[in-house]
A and B are shown apart, each in its own frame.
Chain A
Amino acid sequence: MAMSSSSLALSELRDRIARLEGGSARRREVLPFGVPEIDRVLPGGGLALGALHEVAGGANGAVDAAAAALWAAGIVARMRGRVLWCVTRQDLFAPSLAQAGLPPGRVIFVEAGDEAAVLACFEEGLRHGGLGAVVAEVARLPMTSSRRLQLAAEVSGTLGIAIRRWRRQTEATDFGQPTAAVSRWRVSALSSRPLPVPGVGRPRWRLELLRVRAGESADFEVEAPDAKGRLALSADLADRSAAAQARRLGAVG
């Protein structure tokens, strides 16, 4: 009896907090990863749409953000609509985005030149509402800016992904500073899946969920996005790959 009344009180409190947070008007929609192990730890069972998420690369990835960009491309590839991708200077190679399921016709790039202009374009894109998603590569993301971005994303329902990318690896400590983003991820390259012959197998990443609003942090070993932008859980050992394959198919179908 006591249990049920306390859980009732808890759910009531949750509702009130949700109302305070302003998400009451619309049920939060999510984009599932299609990997049950990842979706299980995310509140709502997937990446919240109409919200700001941030991602950075681990180790050298903090500077080149190669894996982080491909992770973002894999997510926005599974969304509908056009994508605005804001950068300070361009070094993305579009064919690799196409290989992650994001065809060149869907992405509009903005080469803004400096950080302030990137943030302004990022916010403009999130506020517009006609885009499927907005991705921006920024080094600094102060609390005030991220709050503005998050509010803009909430109003329009557009997914925003901030790829944090620094000039030097030492500056990456900035990633510890709090922002208003709903979730924070880190993608680091792992050695690829071993092949029975010499060569480089399917790339694998350590995907760390460092922080998520109303959820626990976790980390996973995943395989890089396929041609449709879907991640797959890494098979730890070569002889378990068949099982992993089955799991992934189950998640997709």
Chain B
Amino acid sequence: MPASKAQVLVPGLVNLELEPAEDAAALDRLALWALRCAPIVAADPPDGLIIDTSGADHLHGGEAAMLTSLVARMEASGIAARAAVADSWGAAHAAARFLARPIAVIPRGQAADVMRDLPIRALRLPNSTVDGLHVLGFERIGDIEDTPKAPLTHRFGSVLLRRLDHAMGRAAEPFEPVRSPELIEVRRAFGEPIGAAETIARYTARLVDQLCAALDQQGLGARRLDLVFYRVDNRIEAIRVGTAAPVRETRRLTRLLTDRIETVDPGFGIELMTLTATLADPLRARQTISSLVEPEEPDISDLIDVIANRLGSSRLYRFAPVESDVPERSVKRVAPTAPDDGASWPGEWPRPSRLLSPPEPIDTMALLPDNPPVWFTWRGIRRRVARADGPERIFGEWWLREAETQSVRDYFRVEDEGGERFWIYRAGDGEDPATGSHKWFLHGIFA
């Protein structure tokens, strides 16, 4: 459609000159930014990014969580993005453009099935080829897949089948990852490809040594390291590790990287290894406190790094108190390295050592309004209450939610005849139906 026609159709249409060179440069900048997500990133002109997430998704709490946060961050900076994860570049490319709302995660091994239903335009083919296929009556990728391939190749050239293989994950498709010239990077090329885990570990240690020397010169410590392996068959494998605080210690960084060598598939051999500090913070020498009164608290940040890189940093936390009387809201999770302000919970009321989440409904017989139950049935076992304490009344937090304005929970600590102690509550104050459903729940198990 010519611009003049569009202007007639939409009054007040803003016209901008197409600037492919600047668009490409902006896309490259975006690719560098996306390095925060995974070590291998490349721009996919004119409008896409490719991110190889293998070995990095667990650090973000899974593939779906990673995509959601990525799209949300893009949106915050004014880019309407859609993202998809799949087995191959071709499949992810198609899913991001034709399936993602705004994210799509295609489980491992199912890319071929999903691709069959997508239109032929999803195959990254020249427009003339797509039109030609439409003329012949092909609409979906599955249609081509079910047709003998030789006549199609005769008519449209080998690109059609190559793209089909890329999308189905049958053929590898290497790409050149972006690198920023400012990043501190060391590399090592091998005359003879290496493959044994021990050899990789040895050269990793040497690379870390060089990197630490380079970091030392600039007074920096690494917060995130990417170790990238270029295989002889043009595929790229990567390891990414992060640390809680800047580190420049050779032994610690080597340990973090070698811990994950088993996740690297060397294939027929690795011909080039590069180690990059994609995130580095200033690290200055610090005086250790030498106190005569009490021994220094041992440094466990290396242990935290090892476990966080293995499981993901969200799996490692401390509990901290929150000023709330509602039990499940009275604790929050904080990072293990967060400063300890010594705060704790008020200790007057006994609290159970296990808290069920969510509370489990129980059958009871109890005298209203404020007597503990005579018996209750939980998980199919009926227990007579021998002793009980309560009620401890907890009011809803009306300043948080409108619905909690009147809600009340009455907690009882009960002990059955066998000596087991439980924390049960009744939703409601026993008199006014507006305060709760008057159903009983078991919320915790006392020691």
Residues of A within 8 A of B (CB): 59-60, 64-67, 69-71, 73, 80-82, 84, 91-99, 103-105, 107-113, 117, 120-121, 124-125, 128-131, 188-192, 198-201, 203-205, 224, 227
Contacts and interface: CB of A to CB of B under 8 A. Distances in A.
B387 interface: yes
Contacts of B344: 98, 103-104
B413 A92 contact: no
B263 to A, nearest CB: 15
B353 A200 contact: no
Given A69-B354, A91-B355, A105-B342, A128 B300 contact: yes
B419 interface: yes
B336 A95 contact: no
Contacts of B354: 64-66, 69, 91-93
A113 to B, nearest CB: 7
**Chain B contact residues: helix, strand, loop or mixed:** mixed
A200 B319 contact: no
Contact of A95 (B299, B302, B345): B345
Interface string B346-385: 0100111111110000000000000000000000000000
13 contacts: A69-B353, A92-B354, A93-B444, A94-B331, A96-B350, A96-B446, A105-B342, A108-B316, A109-B316, A111-B316, A121-B307, A124-B303, A199-B389
Given A95-B330, A189-B447, A199-B389, A109 B345 contact: no
Contacts of A191: 386-387, 415, 417-419
A93 B351 contact: yes
A200 B421 contact: yes
Nearest to A80: B295
Contact of A125 (B303, B357, B386, B418): B303
Max chain A Cβ within 10 angstroms of own Cβ: one of B297, B307, B353, B413: B353
A247 B336 CA distance: 39
Contacts of B389: 199-200
B340 to A, nearest CB: 3
Interface string B309-336: 0110001111111000001001100001
Interface in B403-446: 413-415, 417-421, 444-446
Interface string B205-230: 00000000000000000000000000
Given A94-B331, A130-B298, A224 B303 contact: no
Given A98-B344, A192-B415, A199-B388, A108 B304 contact: yes
B247 interface: no
Contacts of B316: 108-111
B353 A97 contact: yes
A73 B353 CA distance: 10
